[in-house]
Structure 1
Amino acid sequence: MAKDAKPNRAAARAAARLAAVQALYQMDVAGKGVVDALAEFEAYWIGREVEGVEAAPSDIDFFRDILQGVVREQRPVDMKVDAALAAKWPLKRVEAVLRAILRAGAYELMFRRDVPARVAITEYVDVAHGFYGEDEPGLVNAVLDAVAHEVRGEEFSKGR
């Protein structure tokens, strides 16, 4: 691949986020472990043509970090997301794809300080738009914004 044809970092990370959400979903519904999910996605999904659609090249290291990080830090991630959700609607009651999006987004906000909070929120709202209409992306935005303000409040107080 020519140097100019190389995907830009933002696009590669966006593709990695989408793949991580899909892998988390598959792990949740099929009961797969992280090692199996990593192997399957890296071998058959990431950067491959699936059902006639060419997948965008992904930042594999970023994909691995999100997937492994959500699994490793699931308890604190779930606690933050639960606290941001409506009191009578805990994370375990949220639909599986939405749960995967919220977990991945919260992980990034909590543990990937190299990614600006607003970028992470926007990226996961975009992922949600790929699966849902207006209500769910709005929920993703609200929940991740609440998590971000709690764990990275300093990023939101700058410039105000």
Structure 2
Amino acid sequence: MTTPAPSPAPSGNQKRRMKSASRLYAVQALYQMELAGLTVEKVQHEFLDHRFGAEIEEGVEMIEGDVELFGKITSEAVNWQARIDQMTDRALVAKWPIDRIDPTLRALFRAAGAELVALDTPPRVAITEYVDVARAFFPEGREPKFVNAVLDHMAREAKPESF
């Protein structure tokens, strides 16, 4: 009997895809938390148990995510939510406070804000990644440009030394 060879470590490109997938999953998790009134721990467990790498349909699997990054983003988004929401409000037009925008965008701004406020993600990386997430959710809309503008404002407030 032979033991299976250990799976190889992910390549640089695979690691980037896993991080990108984790950001998308974090936005989905934060959206689900808000709509269903669930705790961050409950949603994290659900995503790790049922979404990361899960088979969607015969032969089609979801991308495996970076579990550690997903956990940090979702936890820090909750820990820093008041500050992140205030930063988002300041970046939005006065007539459109954060509680009036689309819940998907609200979740996206909270996930991105967590990376800008609490994690060591360079602002340009966070902006690029979350604009890509916006494109995934709103492929035909103007939302990606809106997300870019709001996140640029938030990043300048959170990490002015990076600009």
Q: Tell me, what secondary structure is at the counterpart of 1:56?
A: coil
Question: Residues 11-90 of structure 1: matches in 2 within 5 Å?
Answer: 11-52=17-58, 53-90=60-97
Q: Tell me, what secondary structure is at the counterpart of 1:88?
A: coil
1:108 pairs with 115, 120, 123, which one?
Answer: 115
Greater gyration radius: 2
Gaps of 5+ in 1: none
1:150 pairs with 137, 140, 157, which one?
Answer: 157
1:50 Cα shift?
A: 2.1
1:3 pairs with 8, 20, 28, which one?
Answer: 8
Identity %: 43
- Quick one: structure 1 residues 4 and 59, their matched pair in 2 at CA, closer, same or farther if it must change by over 3 Å? closer
Matched residue type, 1:17: R
Partner residue in 1 for 2:133: 127
TM-score by length of 1: 0.90
1:35 Cα shift?
A: 1.5
Aligned residues: 155
Partner residue in 1 for 2:103: 96
Give the structure with the higher percent helix: 1
Partner residue in 1 for 2:3: none
1:149 Cα shift?
A: 1.2
1:134 Cα shift?
A: 3.5
TM-score by length of 2: 0.89
Kindly report the root-mean-square deviation, in angstroms, between the aligned alpha carbons of the 2 structures. 1.6
For residues 24 and 126 of structure 1, what CA distance do their matches in structure 2 show? 17
Matched residue type, 1:35: E
Q: Tell me, what secondary structure is at the counterpart of 1:32?
A: coil
Cα shift readout 1:59-92 (whole Å, capped 9, x = no counterpart): 1011001011111111111111111111110110
